[in-house]
Amino acid sequence: MLSLAEYIVGTFGASHYVVSTGVKEVVARLSAPLQPSHIHLSSAITSMTPSPKSSSLTLLQFSSTEPPILFSHVVLATQANQAASLLRLLRDTLPSANDRKAEQERIDALGAFEYAPCLVVNHRDESLLPTNLRDRRDLNLTSFPALSPTSLSGPGGKGTEHTLPPTAIQSTHILSRTHPHLGTGSSLLQTTNPIVRVDPMLVLSETWYERAKVTQRSKAVLPRFMLDNLKTKSPKGKLGLRRGDLQGQRGVYFVGSWCAEGIPLLEGCVQSAERVVSAIAKAEGAEVSIPF
């Protein structure tokens, strides 16, 4: 709850924005400098092994019919629990017991991050917004602690295919408020964790996914994955452990919403990615200038 309060304070008086041209524009700009032959889609990692040439290099294999590819740096831009599964592939191939123990420490640390199912619905159902127009904001948070659990979200208040249980916090973002061109005749809304069923006739799309939860355990281990940017001197964490000491071992780094301060949101993905890029650039003797 502290992170939620911090988020409200940190964004008070500010608008909430989305990419007006859609995520495809973001993908196009990020991938523009890359050679098409270097982009591999739908390529599951089947093996992850240390290179016999150097312990800091990693071999990744994407198909049993193709040879492994050697990488100097591996960035796992995924959920912590999925990153842990990939590290188990690496741990099981390490020849030294000490190395396997060190890799297990990273796996255990990743296990501190818990996940909860999350539903996002894009729609035009304004009944999920405050009735009084003056009470509406870019982001509208709703909870129903006083209502009977059987009055919402299905029998027993356990949620349904289209709703979360009433213990969740419903968030409705008025996308067309900051991007008027997205609202053609009616508001374009995005509701996260709907407790009240969105009118099926007004639903544009809905997607279930997992979102990292902030817990005391995850907050305690998070500093070990935190890399400060190039201008910041790394402070000492608890128990004398260096901030970010679990990053970069054997050339493997982690980025994601879970790998930054506050509520796990897309902003955390960007922050953690900037820090990892800065760390890799520094290791390679290069300079990085982030213009924002």
Q: What are phi and psi of 47, to 5 degrees?
A: -155, 150
Distance CA 201, CA 207 (A): 16
Q: What's the pLDDT at 277?
A: 92
Strand order in the sheet with 69-71: 47-50, 58-61, 69-71
Q: What's the pLDDT at 183?
A: 66
Distance CA 203, CA 100 (A): 49
pLDDT tens-digit readout, 218-253: 999 999 999 864 334 444 444 445 689 999 999 999
pLDDT tens-digit readout, 7-50: 555 555 566 667 777 788 888 988 999 999 888 888 889 999 99
Tally helices (H) and strands (E) across the chain.
Answer: 7, 10
The model's pTM is 0.81
Q: What's the pLDDT at 21?
A: 75
Q: Is 50 helix (H, G, I), strand (E, B) or coil?
A: strand
- Least confident range from 25-29, 76-80, 116-120, 150-154: namely 150-154
The CA-based angle 236-212-282, given to 5 degrees, is 40
Distance CA 115, CA 204 (A): 26
pLDDT tens-digit readout, 171-209: 999 988 877 777 677 889 999 999 999 999 999 999 999
Contacts of 171 (CB under 8 A, 6+ apart): 139, 140, 141, 142, 191, 192, 193
pLDDT tens-digit readout, 122-155: 999 999 999 999 999 888 998 876 555 544 555 5
Contact yes or no for 271/255 (Cβ under 8 A):
no
Q: What's the pLDDT at 37?
A: 86
